[in-house]
Amino acid sequence: MLAFLEGPDLIIVLVVVVLLFGSSQLPKFARSLGQAKKEFESGIREGEGKDTVAETAAPTVAEQPQAIPPASASPAPSPAAQPHVAQPSPAEQDQPHPPSV
């Protein structure tokens, strides 16, 4: 990862970091990085655990799927079930939009 930083380059970068953050802030910074790494790894383990639980709970080939009712038998969705799309106010409609990139 830091293969491009060798010898004097690495020393210069370290000196600049110490000057920017101060020697008292570097241990706090390193500690917070360590905690963030631990939380990230525990989140990955939790995600892997949920994947294995979901795979074991998946239906097997022996199970029969439920019959799907005909389209005419299902009621129309209620307006509360549909997502709400916010409409711009009149003041927002008059302002030009920035071009999309």
pLDDT 10s digits, 13-41: 889 988 988 888 888 988 999 999 999 99
* 89 domain-assigned: no
In a domain, 33, yes or no: yes
Instruction: Kindly state the helix (H) or strand (E) to which residue 97 belongs, with its residue range.
Output: none
Residue 14 to residue 28: CA distance in whole angstroms: 16
- Both tokens of 73, joined, read 């038998």
Does the residue 70 lie in any domain?
Answer: no
d(Cα 61, Cα 4) in Å, to the nearest integer? 54
Residue 15 lies in a domain: no
- The residues, any chain, with a CB within 8 Å of residue 2's CB and separated by 6 or more, are 10
Q: How many structural domains does the chain have?
A: 1
85 within a domain of the structure (yes/no)? no
- The pLDDT, as a whole number, for residue 39 is 95
Written as tens digits, the pLDDT of the chain (101 aa) is 556 778 888 889 889 988 988 888 888 988 999 999 999 999 999 888 776 655 665 555 556 667 676 666 555 666 565 666 667 666 666 666 666 66
Enter the tokens of residue 53.
């639980």
The answer to the question of residue 9 being in a domain is: no
Size (the chain), residues: 101
User: The domain containing residue 48 runs over which residues?
Assistant: 23-55
